[in-house]
Every structure is written in structure tokens, then in C-alpha cells.
């Protein structure tokens, strides 16, 4: 039997072996994937946008509306000729031309005229094929296109598709399948590889020698950060010559993308801006679909649905600029896991518990920042497996030590006090039996707070400054919530999630949540006036609040508990936080929250919104102040706002326009006011035919 004295020693030995086995079995994969995506937000390695030599020619919604889907081959031929006239060096089709159709001859002729065109084929290993992996199921571009193309490449995306739908790695060649185009036992060349060969004037074999070999390695994709691309610049001749209704539509972004995006419809119509025409000369242009519902899309750290064409361009970009990442070897990670399993034994055996906790926390923070620093040097090292191994081992050995010293109550207070409110800690300490797994359903109010433009702020700060910045603001905002009897659920980066009416009952939970939100706005203003040198100002915060029935309780295991809330009503609160981006507001509450707090606050009605994931629209409101607390300017402006909104939803748009113009004079630079002013102006000029008076929000 193992004595209490020897337990840490034997536990460490067994635990180190188990942690290594867990890593090899993929137990840390899901968390590593999350870390991978979040690390790009902080790493200096990922701050750049796409290479200017790479262009996405988008088969977008407008193109499909005019020409249909799939586009006729003749339309692709016309686009190809237009790109040739603009001096595009390489044209890559992320479009499948595997079946004969009308217009094949025209497209083949245009392909030949250009001379630098890459078409697709697919080659996947047969499930019942040769054991050596050379038998493949091949789908080839139609013979006329294959003969006219400069090169053919395979997407080989499925080779890198992970279980959560993301693509985080790439290889230029797939050695599992012999290339059906080049033969001779050569690995299948990817679409990116043949595109690079064309753009750089190299042969595929030369690229294979440099980036392939007998077993082509997988590289870690260095994602490019999206930016907004406009249809036309306002001072461009093509824009000025276009009809007014087209100008109104064209002076907006077509897509958030790392790469300059040109609508195929504009290309065919000759409506390119001077900047667009200049960018095409000598470039690589990839033709791919971005039309709704008709393109393959994959999440990235910056967006939930990037077109597949952007993945291929990103691979080409990584090779062109030589800034792709290399993954750490499995052996290196295993050695780090073993080291991490040993550290808790050192911390808890030779240091007082509090000092050991500080040492463990410092090690975890150093591992996180060290990993991000290594990214900047081109090496992707995930600290997840070593970090979780250290954390779990430290917790186990700390609990063992404290229990053996008879300090069970002190342990509960020390550990749980970091994550939940003092009321929960006191209840757990006095009534340990209440810390049961499971949940109870009750009416509650849930609150999400997010710092506006946090990504932009964080990019300009060092890692140490960013932590100091977050601690300063999140600490102050959390105190507001706790003072109003709220429970902090969790911190998600710059986001605070909190809820009311659990674990202690609170009949005024909706009121307290909204009053907390209003107080948070005041706290931000006060903090911004007393900034420490070097810390940036927060331009705004966004808060979403919803009230409804949801499940609350402890989740996890008896060793690791979290007191949290889940349900559809929680998701709605999160979506309402994001809805502030559309309305340009600071706080949005649902109608149920409004009903529970209307006796204590002044609000304005914003309209009905259909958020992502919800089919039924919900009325939304913006709290302005506590009851009777409107400043004189708002006291004058609020009746004008109500008059404008009522007229707007009666479809009396000229009357609404007059009201919102008056409101704008009283409250200049008011986000929701500017939104309704612009809508009223547009609808006065051209009333909508089929608008159901619901704002459909497409972003979270």
C-alpha cells in the first residue's frame, strides 16, 4: 500500500506515463486546435494581410444573379480573356470542369490564348486499392481543357481537413497518390504547387525537390488577416461614370478577405477601378465561388467561413513569402509533457503551497507567451499538453498535501475563490454537499460584455502590456457586476460572461443586470480619464443582456468544477452583444429583460432583429440611463426618437426622415440615430418592396 508520504513520488511517475499516452492518443487535440486559432490573435507573425500579387476573382451573388449557377463556360472564357487583357500572368480555376457542357470549345480556346492557366483535377486513394497507396480515383478536367492548360493541380484539401472542419496545415504534394498527370511515381501536385510553378516560372519537379521529396512534409498554415475590399473607389473614373443606383451599391465592400477581391461581374462589365486594374498586371488571379450556398468554406482564426479559394491563395502566399510555420516534433512535445509532469512534484514537495501556486502559474504564463514568441520565429509549439499536464498534476498534488494537513476548508476557499463569487465559496465551504453535478432550470438574466475593437488594440501592445490592460479593465468591470449581486461565469479573452439569480435567488435579476451595464459605461469613462502611461483607451464596450429560462449548475468532475449557465437564452444574449455592431449601440437588451427592468431604466426601442441561429425575430431595446436620470439633451431627443421610429414602422418614411434629421441635430454622432436616418433617407427615395421590418443580422 502506498503511504501518504510516498504518494507524490509514485503519482508523478504514473502520471507522467499516462500524460504521454494521452497525448499520443489525441486527448489534447481539441484544446490544441482552440489554442492554435487563438494564438494567431496575439502573435506578431499573423498581423500581415495577403500578398498583393494574389487576386481573388469572385463568382459572387451579383455574378450568379446575372449569369446563373454554375456559370456558363462561355462566361468563364470571357473572364479569362479579360484577365489576359489586364496582363494577369497566371489564372487558376478553383472550379471543376469535369463534365462536357456547352461552351467547352470557347473556354479551351481562351485557356490556350492565355497560356498561363491552371485547371483542376482530383485524385484520391481508393479504399480498396493498392497497399502501396498508388491506386487512386481520378477525376480529370475535360480533355480539351486539360490539353490547353499550362498545368493541372489537385486541391488535396481533404488530406488536411481536421475533425472540427478547420484546415491548419498544408503540403504542396501528396505522396499517397501518384500524380496522374506527370506519372513516373511522382507525388500528386497540389493546385497551389502548380500555381506557384506558373507564377515563378519554375517546373513542378523543381518545387517538388524544394518542398516535397519522398514524403512531402506538412507545414502549418500562417493565416493572413482579412481586410475590406471595395467594389470601386469613389474617385475612380469607372465609379463616377456608373449610374447612381450602381454607385450606391458599388461603394461598399464585397467581402472581408486577405486578398484583393474583384467581382467577376465587374471584370466582365469593365467596371474595374484604377487600383484594381493596376493590381492585375503580372498577378496570379484565382477564380472561385463566394456566392451564398455555392462554395466550399472553411473556418480560420479570423472568420467562420472563408472560401476554399482563399485557402489555396494562402498556401501560395506562405511559400512566396517563406513565412509558413513548422510544427514541433512529437518527441519534443513528449519530453515537455514528462518535464511538466515532474514540475508539480517539485513545486508541492519543496515549496509552500502558496509559493508553489505562484510558481506553477508563472510557468504556465511563460509557456503561453513562449509559444507565441516561437510563432514569430516560424515554429508552432503547442503548450496545451505540457500546460494541462502541469496544471492537473499540480492540482492533484496540492489537494493531497492540503488534505493530509487537515486544511480542506482552506483549500476550497483558495481554489474556488479565484473563479466564482464569494457567496458561492461560502456556500461550498459551509455546505460541500451542494457542489453536485447536474443542473436546475430557472428564470435568469445572462450578460455578455465585450471590448470593442479589441483585436486592433491588442495588435499595438506587447504581451505584458496586453495582460496589464485586460486586468485593469476586467477587474473594474467585474467589481460592478459583483456589487450588483451578479455571478461571473467566465472570462473569454476580453469578454465577460455573467449571470443573475443563481446561486442565490434575486427577484430583481433583470433590473440588476441592466443597471450593472449602465454602471459599466461610467466605469469605462472614468478609467479612460485616469489611464496609466502606455495603456490605450477603450473606445467602447458592447453589452448584450437576455432574460429567460436556462439551466444552471456545476459541470465538470468532482476535482474540477465550473458553475455555469447554458441554454438557447444564453446564446441569444451572446448574439445581442454582437448586434451592437449593427446598431452601433453600446447596450442591447431583449424584450424579456426590458419587461423585468422597465421600472428602473430609461430606454429606446431599436427595432426587431433576427440574430444568427434564431428564426424568430426579437424586439430589442437600448438602455439610456436609470429611471429619471436622462440628461437634458436626451430628455429633448427621446420623444423625437420615438416619433421617428413610430413613423418609420408605419412606413411613413418622409415623416420618419424629418424626425431623425431633427434627432441628429440634438444628438449628433449617435450610432442608432445615424442608422435610422440613412434608412429613412434611402426608403424615402425608394421604398422597399418586400422588407418584413426585421433586421436580419448575419454576423455573430
3-state secondary structure 335-385: HHHHHHHHHHHHHHHHCCHHHHHHHHHHHHHHHHHHHHHHHHCCEECCCHH
- 548 pLDDT higher than 90: yes
Which among 69, 488, 49 has a CA at the least distance from the CA of 227? Answer: 49
Q: Give 578's contacts (C-beta < 8 A, 6+ positions apart).
A: 542, 544, 611, 612, 697, 699, 700
Residue pair 232/271 in contact by the 8 Å Cβ criterion: yes
**Residue 330 burial by CB count (10 A; 0-12/13-18/19+): exposed, middle or buried?**
exposed
Tens of pLDDT along 447-482? 999 988 888 888 878 888 888 888 888 999 999 998
Of residues 3 and 627, the one with the higher pLDDT is 627
Quote the CA–CA distance of 295 and 220 in Å, as a whole number: 24
Give the containing element (helix H, strand E) for 263: strand 260-263
* Nearest one of 221, 228, 281 to 251, comparing CA atoms: 228
Q: Which helix (H) or strand (E) holds 162?
A: none
Domain count, the chain: 3
- 597 plus 694 within the same structural domain: no
pLDDT above 90 as % of the chain? 37
Reported as type and span, the H/E element at residue 688 is none
CA distance 382 to 220: 12
- pLDDT on residue 46: 56
Contacts of 417 (CB under 8 A, 6+ apart): 425
Strand partners, 669: none
Could you tell me the three cell numbers for 671? Answer: 450610432
| Of 605, 623, 641, the domain-final residue | 623
- Report yes or no: 438 and 553 within 8 Å, Cβ to Cβ: yes
SS3 599: coil
Q: Are residues 581 and 651 in the same domain?
A: no
Contact 169, 223 (CB under 8 A): no
Contact 238, 231 (CB under 8 A): no
In contact, 461 and 470? CB cutoff 8 Å? no
What is the model's pLDDT at position 1? Answer: 43
Buried b or exposed e, range 366-400, using 16+ CB within 10 angstroms: ebbbebbbbbeeebbbbbbbbbbbbbbbbbbbbee
Say yes or no: 462 and 610 in one domain. Answer: yes
Of the chain, the end-to-end C-alpha distance in Å amounts to 55
In a domain, 105, yes or no: no
**pLDDT per position as a tens digit, 488-499:** 888 888 899 999
* The pLDDT of residue 337: 84
Q: Given 573, 604, 623, which residue is the final one in a domain?
A: 623
**Domain containing 349: what range?**
7-42+328-406
Cα angle value 297/302/304 (rounded, 5°): 35
**Predicted confidence (pLDDT) at residue 127 exceeds the cutoff of 60:** no
Q: Is residue 608 part of a domain?
A: yes
- List the single range of 153-162, 256-265, 347-356 with lowest mean pLDDT: 347-356
**Do 475 and 504 have their domain in common?**
yes
Triad 401, 369, 298: Cα angle to 5°: 110
What is the pairing mode between strands 90-93 and 117-120?
parallel
Rounded CA gap, 344 and 363, in Å? 11
The whole-number pLDDT of residue 390 equals 81
Helix axes 384-404, 330-350, angle to 10 degrees: 20
C-alpha cell at position 658: 424629418
In 377-462, which ranges are continuous DSSP H helix? 384-404, 408-416, 422-430, 454-459
Cell reading at 593: 429583460
Whether residues 597 and 478 fall in one domain: yes
Dihedral sign (CA 422, 426, 429, 432): negative
User: From CA 514, how far away is CA 520, in angstroms rounded?
Assistant: 10
Q: What percent of the chain has pLDDT over 70?
A: 84
pLDDT band at 378 (very low <50, low <70, confident <90, very high): confident
Asked if 469 and 566 sit in the same domain, the reply is: yes
Closest C-alpha among 159, 125, 156, 123 to residue 141: 123
pLDDT in tens, 603-620: 999 999 999 888 899 999
Q: Which of 623, 651, 679 is the C-terminal boundary of a domain?
A: 623
My answer on whether 571 and 647 are in the same domain is: no
The DSSP line for 484-511 is TT-EEEEEETTEEEEEESSSS--TTHHH
Residue 438 per-residue DSSP state: S
Query: What is the average per-residue pLDDT within 22-33?
Result: 80
Query: Grid coordinates 503551497 are at which residue?
Result: 353
Q: What is the pLDDT of residue 22?
A: 81
- Angstrom distance (rounded) from CA 171 to CA 79: 30
Does any domain span residue 211? Answer: no
User: Is there a single domain that holds both residue 540 and residue 610?
Assistant: yes
The pLDDT value given to residue 375: 78
387 and 507 fall within a common domain? no
Q: Residue 545: inside a domain, yes or no? A: yes
Instruction: Assess whether 510 and 603 both reside in one domain.
Output: yes
108 located within any domain: no
> For cell 461550498, what's the residue?
428
pLDDT, position 449: 95
For the segment 192-214, what is each residue's pLDDT rounded down to a tens digit?
999 999 999 888 888 888 876 55
CA separation for the pair 425, 341 (Å, rounded): 29
Residue 438's Cβ-side half-sphere holds a number of Cα atoms within 13 Å equal to: 6
- Measured CA to CA, the distance from residue 596 to residue 514 in angstroms comes to 10
Confidence of residue 133 (pLDDT cuts 50, 70, 90): very low
How confident is the model at residue 415, as a pLDDT? 47
Cβ atoms within 10 Å of 688's Cβ, excluding its own = 12
Q: Which CATH number goes with the domain that contains 542?
A: 3.30.70.1230
What is the pTM for the complete model shown?
0.52
Q: Give domain status of residue 110, yes or no.
A: no
Q: Does pLDDT of 299 surpass 90?
A: no
CA 498 to CA 545: how far, in whole Å? 10
483 domain residue, yes or no: yes
Quick one: pLDDT band at residue 625, thresholds 50, 70, 90?
Answer: very high
CA pair distance 576, 580, nearest whole angstrom: 7
Q: Which of 43-52, 341-350, 549-558, 636-645 has the highest mean pLDDT?
A: 636-645
The answer as to whether 676 is a domain residue is: yes
**Does residue 487 sit in the same domain as residue 601?**
yes
pLDDT tens readout for residues 37-87: 777 777 655 557 889 999 999 998 889 999 988 899 999 999 999 999 999
What was the pLDDT predicted at 634?
95
Query: The cell 436626451 sits on which residue?
Result: 634
The mean pLDDT of 670-696, rounded to a whole number, is: 92
Q: Are residues 613 and 637 in the same domain?
A: no
Q: Which of 2-6, 456-460, 516-520 has the highest mean pLDDT?
A: 516-520
Amino acid at each position: 500500500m502506498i503511504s501518504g508520504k510516498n504518494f507524490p513520488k509514485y503519482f508523478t511517475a504514473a502520471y507522467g506515463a499516462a500524460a504521454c499516452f494521452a497525448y499520443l492518443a489525441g486527448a489534447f487535440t481539441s484544446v490544441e486546435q482552440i489554442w492554435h486559432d487563438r494564438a494567431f490573435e496575439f502573435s506578431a507573425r499573423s498581423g500581415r494581410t495577403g500578398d498583393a500579387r494574389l487576386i481573388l476573382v469572385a463568382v459572387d451573388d451579383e455574378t450568379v444573379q446575372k449569369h446563373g449557377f454554375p456559370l456558363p463556360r462561355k462566361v468563364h472564357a470571357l473572364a479569362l480573356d479579360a484577365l489576359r487583357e489586364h496582363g494577369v500572368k497566371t489564372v487558376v480555376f478553383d472550379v471543376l470542369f469535369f463534365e462536357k457542357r456547352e461552351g467547352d470549345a470557347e473556354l479551351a480556346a481562351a485557356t490556350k490564348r492565355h497560356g498561363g492557366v491552371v485547371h483542376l483535377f482530383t485524385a484520391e486513394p481508393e479504399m480498396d486499392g493498392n497497399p502501396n497507396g498508388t491506386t487512386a480515383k481520378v477525376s480529370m478536367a475535360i480533355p480539351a481543357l486539360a490539353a490547353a492548360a499550362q498545368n493541372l493541380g489537385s486541391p488535396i484539401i481533404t488530406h488536411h481537413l481536421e475533425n472540427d472542419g478547420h484546415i491548419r496545415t498544408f503540403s504542396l504534394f501528396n505522396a499517397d497518390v501518384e500524380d496522374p498527370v506527370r506519372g513516373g511515381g511522382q507525388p500528386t501536385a497540389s493546385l497551389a504547387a502548380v500555381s506557384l510553378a506558373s507564377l515563378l516560372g519554375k517546373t513542378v519537379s523543381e518545387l517538388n525537390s524544394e518542398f516535397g521529396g519522398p514524403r512531402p512534409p506538412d507545414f502549418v498554415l500562417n493565416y493572413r488577416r482579412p481586410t475590406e475590399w471595395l467594389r470601386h473607389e469613389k474617385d475612380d473614373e469607372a465609379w463616377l461614370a456608373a449610374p447612381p443606383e450602381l454607385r450606391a451599391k458599388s461603394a461598399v465592400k464585397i467581402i472581408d478577405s486577405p486578398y484583393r477581391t474583384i467581382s467577376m461581374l465587374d471584370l466582365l462589365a469593365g467596371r474595374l477601378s484604377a487600383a484594381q486594374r493596376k493590381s492585375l498586371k503580372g498577378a496570379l488571379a484565382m477564380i472561385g465561388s463566394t456566392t451564398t450556398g455555392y462554395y466550399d468554406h472553411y473556418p480560420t482564426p479570423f472568420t467562420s467561413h472563408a472560401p476554399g479559394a482563399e485557402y489555396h491563395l494562402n498556401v501560395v502566399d506562405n511559400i512566396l513569402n517563406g513565412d509558413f510555420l513548422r510544427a514541433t516534433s512529437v518527441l519534443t512535445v513528449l519530453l515537455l509533457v514528462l518535464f511538466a509532469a515532474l514540475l508539480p512534484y517539485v513545486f508541492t514537495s519543496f515549496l509552500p503551497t502558496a509559493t508553489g501556486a505562484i510558481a506553477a502559474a508563472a510557468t504556465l504564463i511563460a509557456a503561453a507567451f513562449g509559444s507565441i514568441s516561437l510563432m514569430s520565429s516560424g515554429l508552432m509549439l503547442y503548450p496545451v499538453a505540457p500546460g494541462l499536464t502541469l496544471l492537473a498534476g499540480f492540482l492533484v498534488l496540492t489537494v493531497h498535501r492540503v488534505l493530509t494537513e487537515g486544511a480542506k476548508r482552506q483549500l476550497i476557499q483558495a481554489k474556488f475563490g479565484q473563479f466564482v463569487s464569494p457567496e458561492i465559496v461560502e456556500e461550498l465551504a459551509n455546505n460541500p454537499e451542494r457542489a453536485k453535478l447536474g443542473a436546475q432550470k430557472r428564470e435568469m438574466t445572462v450578460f455578455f460584455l465585450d471590448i470593442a475593437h479589441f483585436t486592433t488594440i491588442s495588435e499595438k501592445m506587447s504581451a505584458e502590456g496586453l495582460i496589464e490592460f485586460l486586468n485593469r479593465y476586467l477587474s473594474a468591470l467585474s467589481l460592478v457586476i459583483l456589487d450588483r449581486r451578479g455571478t461571473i461565469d467566465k472570462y473569454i479573452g476580453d469578454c465577460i460572461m455573467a449571470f443573475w439569480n443563481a446561486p442565490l435567488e434575486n427577484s430583481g435579476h433583470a433590473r440588476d443586470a441592466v443597471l450593472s451595464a449602465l454602471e459599466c459605461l461610467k466605469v469605462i469613462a472614468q478609467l479612460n480619464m485616469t489611464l496609466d502611461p502606455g495603456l490605450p483607451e477603450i473606445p467602447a464596450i458592447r453589452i448584450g443582456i437576455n432574460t429567460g429560462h436556462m439551466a444552471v449548475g456545476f459541470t465538470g468532475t468532482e476535482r474540477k468544477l465550473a458553475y455555469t449557465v447554458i441554454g438557447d437564452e444564453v446564446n441569444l444574449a451572446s448574439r445581442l452583444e454582437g448586434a451592437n455592431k449593427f446598431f452601433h449601440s453600446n447596450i442591447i437588451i431583449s424584450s424579456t429583460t426590458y419587461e423585468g427592468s422597465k421600472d428602473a431604466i430609461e430606454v429606446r426601442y431599436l427595432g426587431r432583429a433576427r440574430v444568427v441561429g434564431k428564426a424568430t425575430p426579437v424586439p430589442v431595446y437600448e438602455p439610456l440611463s436609470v429611471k429619471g436620470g436622462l440628461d437634458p439633451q436626451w430628455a429633448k431627443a427621446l420623444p423625437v426618437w420615438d416619433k421617428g421610429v413610430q413613423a418609420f414602422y408605419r412606413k411613413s418614411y418622409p415623416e420618419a426622415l424629418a424626425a431623425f434629421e431633427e434627432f441628429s441635430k440634438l444628438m449628433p454622432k449617435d450610432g442608432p440615430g445615424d442608422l435610422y436616418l440613412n434608412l429613412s433617407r434611402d426608403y424615402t427615395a425608394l421604398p422597399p418592396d418586400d422588407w418584413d421590418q426585421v433586421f436580419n443580422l448575419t454576423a455573430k
